[in-house]
Amino acid sequence: MVVVARNKKQGGGFLSGFSLLACFAIAFYRLVYWSTNSGSFAPTNDFLNFTEMAAQAVAMLALIVLDYRFAYTERTVNALIVVAAAAQLCGSGLLFAPYYLGDFDSQAVAVFGAVFRGAGSAVLLLGLGRLLCSIEPKRSALIIAGGYTIFGVISLVLSLAPRDVIAFAALVFPIASGFCLVWCSEKNAVNVGEKQTVDAAMLRRIPLDTVILLFLCALAGVVSGAFTPPSLIDQRAFNVFWMIIYFAVFVVYCVWVFRFKRNDPDALWPFLVLVIFSGLFFYSSFSAINSELATSFMSATRRTLMLFCWVFMAASIYRQKLPALLFFGAGNLVFSQLPAMVGYLIGIFHPMLDSYETSLVNIAITAAMALVLVVAIIVVVMRARVSQVVSPGQANSIDPTERAIAVIAEQYALSPRESEIALLVVKGYTLPMIGEKLFISTDTVRSHSKGLYKKLGIHKKQELIALVERHV
């Protein structure tokens, strides 16, 4: 999205007001859907869910096209977010109307509500993506995981609340999400620049192996879930499971960022596959003992896919300087909208088997999907090892320090100039000497050095040298 941004500064650490409000923006966005699908109300079904997903996909495609055709200001973007939040509020109200009016046959009203909510959610989703893709990966990962954790906690608390409380909250969540998103956009420096043409070189920068694994996880979840009767899901156990899983993922990202000082959260894709695999394995192994518990755990692990997808897309787009709206929107279409729409179509047109046959079919499908994931992991790992093999002649010709700087630059999203300065600093150059060698002023070198140290989370030259030596 081409936006005219003012001179703003990102918030400090993760506990800054910006980061917390961004977490709540994500949590409120997800809670809008939970509140009308929590089992407390009857207005939603597979047809309405499909309608909402289709409206969201169409609106998302329209926004991506408009992004390449028109230039607009940040104020216009914020106004569009407010209108989208109001549309979601109206949509939720229309979905709840049949319940409170005592007329469950008002399908047309519910369809209009699904369309309003789907179109509004497309704007909020792309607004969140635009925001997350403008933040360095370690912060965006913590914000996404933190937002989903808050979502899990609130959904568990509301699952114990009366229906009227859930209905009121569903009307508040869209406005709260829009407010948090607008406030964060005002406080954060959004990446701006010229419109980028998508070419073969840009597409080659996308890690296709990880994309394929994420899509396989989405396919495994949708196909296995489509044959699982909703009656087998224990809603309370489901809410507890996903809250625990979201919190565990948040802890893992915190350890990755704060303990290991890493800025590549998308490198934790094996952890994602392990989470999805654990749900499939648990269901195929223990559904005969307790079908409700096994189904609830598998459903909870399936829902974590979007958390990992957002982390992966935000980190890749930020690091590779890709067009945010195009690639974040395309990623959501591939990993979420299209698989979910296929799952809803299966639920609409596939005749429901009896419970015994459904159990056998789903066990076979989940076992097969788990096997596919294991094979895919082995293939990806083997391909990565083959690509990292260096011949003896090449190994002797590459400076270990330069190789370590390249790895650090990839992990922490360093610019080419920052990488050059880091290499010269480690080699013992002073700031004036670096400026003379790179034909830039000492003040410019000092400015790049500050940015370099900030990204690496260090404060002294000795810390930089120690970091490079660890990588060597």
Please tell me the total count of domains within the chain. 2
How far is the C-alpha of 452 from the C-alpha of 409, rounded, in Å? Answer: 10
Residue 31 lies in a domain: yes
Residue 34 lies in a domain: yes
Residue 391 lies in a domain: no
Name 60's Cβ contacts closer than 8 Å, sequence gap at least 6: 122, 125, 126, 329, 332, 333, 337
Q: Do 335 and 428 lie in a common domain?
A: no
Q: Do 439 and 293 lie in a common domain?
A: no
SS3 353: coil
Q: Do 217 and 353 lie in a common domain?
A: yes
CATH number at residue 441: 1.10.10.10
pTM of the model: 0.82
Residue 377 lies in a domain: yes
Q: Do 151 and 80 lie in a common domain?
A: yes
Helix (H) or strand (E) holding 181: helix 163-187
Q: What is the token pair recorded at 72?
A: 């607009």
Q: Do 435 and 317 lie in a common domain?
A: no
Number of C-beta neighbours around residue 175 at 10 A: 15
DSSP string, 281-345: HHHHHHTTT-HHHHHHHHHHHHHTHHHHHHHHHHHHHHHHT--HHHHHHHHHIIIIIHHHHHHHH
| 8 Å CB contact between 257 and 265 | yes
Residue 88 lies in a domain: yes
Residue 393 lies in a domain: no
Which of 323, 352, 386 corresponds to the end of one domain? 386
Q: Do 309 and 429 lie in a common domain?
A: no
Torsion, CA 271, CA 53, CA 346, CA 155, rounded to 10: 50
Which of 338, 355, 386 corresponds to the end of one domain? 386
Residue 442 lies in a domain: yes
Q: Do 288 and 403 lie in a common domain?
A: no
Residue 427 domain boundaries: 398-471
| 8 Å CB contact between 414 and 408 | yes
pLDDT in tens, the chain (472 residues): 443 344 344 445 676 788 999 999 999 999 988 887 765 555 567 788 889 999 999 999 999 988 888 877 888 888 999 999 999 999 988 887 777 766 555 678 888 889 999 999 999 999 999 999 988 898 999 999 999 999 999 999 988 888 888 888 888 999 999 999 999 988 776 544 445 667 776 777 777 888 888 888 888 888 777 777 777 788 888 889 989 999 999 999 999 988 887 888 888 888 888 898 899 888 888 887 888 898 899 989 988 999 999 999 999 888 877 888 899 999 999 888 888 888 777 767 765 555 555 667 778 888 888 888 888 878 877 776 655 544 444 444 457 788 888 888 877 778 888 888 988 888 888 888 888 888 788 888 888 888 888 888 788 888 888 888 877 6
